[in-house]
Amino acid sequence: MTDRLDEYRRKRDARRTPEPVPPGAPAPSDRRRFVIQQHHARSLHWDVRLERDGVLVSFAVPRGLPRDRARNNLAKHTEDHPLEYLDFAGEIPAGEYGGGRMTIHDRGTYEADKWRDDEIGVTFHGERTNGRYVFFQTGGRDWMVRRMDPAEPGWEAMPEAVPPMTPTRTTGLPADDADWGYEMDWGGRRVTAYVSGGRVRLADADGDDVTSWYPEIRPLGPALAPIEAVLDGEIVAFDGSRPAPELLARRKAPKDSAAARRAAERTPAHLLVYDLLWLEGHSTVELVRYAERRELLDGLALAGDHWQTPPYFPGGGEFALEAARAQGLGGIVAKRLDSPYLPGRRSRLWLSVPVG
């Protein structure tokens, strides 16, 4: 009888990895359990494992299971894994097969709606994952996975583009100070960040894709995973603690990825995020007030080597102006605490106030 774990054992040294490496052939089983593991290996992906005939039939899914029917996601059919992997989480040492951190994203049971060599249909019943999916072969170990039933009620697909809302320039602070929140005017490059499946896409104010310009921002995707969000902010370069537009101007369109990496090393950029436009299947632009969007944004705890959420000041416009002056900034942006986000519009709900 063929040992279905033979390939799994060939790829691993039990003396070097904390992964379970059972010595014998698997015993038959008739349970239908699954586990989804978030795997920070050479590139972030999710491993979907389905119990079948004593082993875990496994797929590596780079962007995770699709949450609606609008897209198919790539899935790579990998070697069968032992049932002990249902509970495995830990750090696979660098240099070993699959080296990197692995955590359990979800687990539960499933129903097999269809099981063929080239197509597998399942219904998941997990803590976070529920619904009908089909895995279908496209060639060799290359498969795709598609959601077959509607997304959860109220779910909205991530928008392809959200044009930025812009402030109206004014000469002084609003009179009703307590009704406004104040941010620094960083003088950077306005971008919208679309974070999905552990990847990030950056679009500038004209909607052009500038992801390749700033490779140092890409780790934001794995850092935020599995959360998906659309973020509003700007790219800034610093000279010490001072925002330096003249340094940012050096970051031109790169000829290739190597040139982009060299530019990032010479003149690192930072993404300052100050608004949240979509989160986990729900738009926040029209019905959610600015103060509430900021609360949701703060809950994401965005803090990395090249990204952060700078503070804002509810009320206290004079204090914000003094802080901007101390940092050598040209001004502040005042935003009504009850303002919606108006994509692509200039509005007096947001005011650009110069230091003077």
Cα(194)–Cα(191) distance, rounded to whole angstroms?
10
Q: Which residues pair with 22 in a beta bridge?
A: none
This prediction's pTM: 0.93
Cα(332)–Cα(355) distance, rounded to whole angstroms?
7
* Tens of pLDDT, residues 70-113: 889 999 999 999 999 999 999 999 999 999 999 999 999 999 99
Burial (Cβ within 10 Å: 0-12, 13-18, ≥19) of residue 67: buried
Per-position b or e across 330-356, b if 16+ CB within 10 A of its CB: bbbbbbbbebbbbbeeebebbbbbeee
CA 257-258-261 angle, to 5 degrees, is: 85
pLDDT of residue 27: 86
Q: Which two three-digit tokens encode residue 329? A: 């900034």
* Tens of pLDDT, residues 255-297: 999 999 999 999 999 999 999 999 999 999 988 999 999 999 9
Cα(57)–Cα(50) distance, rounded to whole angstroms?
5
Q: Which two three-digit tokens encode residue 72? A: 């198919």
Cα(235)–Cα(245) distance, rounded to whole angstroms?
10
* Strand residues in 14-61 grouped as ranges (E): 33-40, 44-52, 55-61
pLDDT of residue 1: 58
Q: Which two three-digit tokens encode residue 293? A: 């969007």
pLDDT, tens digit only, all 356 positions of the chain: 588 999 999 999 999 999 999 988 888 888 999 999 999 999 999 999 999 999 999 999 999 999 999 889 999 999 999 999 999 999 999 999 999 999 999 999 999 999 999 999 999 999 999 999 999 999 999 999 999 999 888 899 999 999 999 999 999 999 999 999 999 999 999 999 999 999 999 999 999 999 999 999 999 999 999 999 999 999 999 998 899 999 999 999 999 999 999 999 999 999 999 999 999 999 999 889 999 999 999 999 999 999 999 999 999 999 999 999 999 999 999 999 999 999 999 999 999 999 97
Cα(25)–Cα(9) distance, rounded to whole angstroms?
11
SS3 291: helix
